[in-house]
Amino acid sequence: MDKIGIVGAGTMGRGIAQFLAGAGSEVILHDIKTQYVEDALESIEINLTRSVEKERITPDKKQKTLNNIEITTDLKDFRDRELVIEAATEKMEVKKKIFQDLDTICEEDTILATNTSALSITGIAATVTNPERVLGIHFFNPVPVMKLVEIVRGLTTSEEVIQECQDFVAAAGKTVVEVQESPGFIVNRILIPMINEAAFLLQEGVASADDIDTAMKNGANHPIGPLALADMIGIDVCLSIMETLQEELEEDKYRPCPLLRQKVRADQLGRKSGQGFYNYS
Ligand SMILES: NC(=O)c1ccc[n+]([C@@H]2O[C@H](COP(=O)([O-])OP(=O)(O)OC[C@H]3O[C@@H](n4cnc5c(N)ncnc54)[C@H](O)[C@@H]3O)[C@@H](O)[C@H]2O)c1
């Protein structure tokens, strides 16, 4: 697939654009405001320049990658796209509206993917006329660095669409796993409850944040401790994923730790707000 459209130029959309353009696809990156897509393009250029300085890529590769990226605020520019990946805000009503629009703009065999972390692929697919072409393609942050992509099958996704996307993403250089639609898929279903448990340990005064993270790094061979990782992901994002797990799976073991709620209420969201389980100022 050569012609890709990406909806949403935030953290994930710009990362996916950089990665796929670098792998040789022609990418159009869309957002609701010109400023947002221009900022995204600028940040991609800064990333690529840093990679050139570190001799990870050549100046020629940087230029080719940038040449492969166009920006737009008009979704109608997605008319000829073979694959569209939606990476807009994690709200069901936002995603449904985007898919309804894509349904009227794109060819009827254009594959429509969502990068959602936890929302139902089947629910999103229900908004288009032929839902067998809708699936989840779940990248990880930062996209150019993280190797994994979860390919998520909704109830109505066709086998051909799953296969075509697995082959495409693997050929672009990622490690692919296939998942049946389920809240949190594989990684977040395991990872976020672990972070939640670490927050319970801290709340109960069992150990300090530093000692919890040191224990998991040295006792479980994790490259980063769970609380430092929560600060990287965003404590608000961790809380919202726990809430989805609890709501959808209806089990007590997914009860969000009250300390996560307190942190969010205090705007202590992690690195992005300068304070989370650790201080970054
Ligand atoms: N941040 C992560 O670590 C991460 C990891 C994996 C998946 N995701 C998922 O990726 C998606 C995007 O997350 P993010 O972290 O990049 O969010 P973000 O807030 O950084 O970016 C979202 C972008 O979507 C844009 N947007 C909102 N409504 C739009 C619309 N109608 N049309 C076009 N653009 C629109 C916003 O202007 C914003 O630029 C979410 O579904 C999220 O759950 C995030």
99 lines ligand 1 (CB under 6 A): no
Q: pLDDT value at position 118?
A: 82
Domain membership of residue 278 (yes or no) is no
How far is it, in rounded angstroms, from Cα 234 to Cα 204? 21
Q: Is residue 279 part of a domain?
A: no
CA distance 187 to 190: 5
Sequence-separated contacts (24+) of 129-135 with Cβ below 8 Å? 129/103, 131/156, 131/157, 132/156, 132/157, 132/158, 132/161, 133/109, 133/157, 133/158, 133/161, 134/99, 134/161, 135/111, 135/161, 135/162, 135/165
Asked if the peptide bond before residue 193 counts as cis, ω within 30 degrees of 0, the response is: no
Annotation marks residue 141 as catalytic: no
17 and 84 together in one domain: yes
The 10s digit of each residue's pLDDT in 160-172 is 999 999 999 999 9
Name the active-site residue from 115, 188, 240, 273. 188
Q: What CA–CA distance (Å, rounded) separates 148 from 275?
A: 28
pLDDT score recorded for residue 189: 95
Minimum-distance ligand 1 atom for the alpha carbon of 118:
43
66 located within any domain:
yes
Q: Does 117 qualify as catalytic in the annotation? A: yes
Question: For the chain, which residues score pLDDT lower than 70?
Answer: none
Q: Are 63 and 90 in contact (CB under 8 A)?
A: no
pLDDT in tens, 219-260: 999 999 999 999 998 999 899 999 999 999 999 999 999 999
pLDDT value of residue 4: 98
Compute, in degrees rounded to 10, the torsion defined by CA atoms 117, 162, 69, 5. -80
Answer yes or no: is the C-beta of 15 below 6 A from any ligand 1 atom.
no
Decide whether any atom of ligand 1 lies within 6 Å of the 82 Cβ: no
> Same domain, yes or no, for 148 and 268?
no
pLDDT for 1 equals 81
Question: What separation in Å is there between the alpha carbon of 136 and the centre of ligand 1?
Answer: 14
Q: Average pLDDT, whole number, for the chain?
A: 96
131 and 92 in a common domain: yes
CATH number of the domain that residue 26 is part of = 3.40.50.720
Question: Same domain, yes or no, for 91 and 146?
Answer: yes
Ligand 1 pocket residue status of 87, Cβ below 6 Å: yes
Residue 61, pLDDT score = 97
Query: Residue 134 forms beta bridges with which residues?
Result: 112
Q: Whose CA is nearest to atom 11 of ligand 1?
A: 87
**Domain encompassing residue 13:** 3-180
**Each residue's pLDDT tens digit, 202-224:** 999 999 999 999 999 999 999 99
Query: Does residue 192 share a domain with residue 175?
Result: no
CB 196 within 8 A of CB 212: no
Whether 144 is in the pocket of ligand 1, judged by its Cβ within 6 Å, is no
Distance of CA 126 to the CA centre of its chain: 21
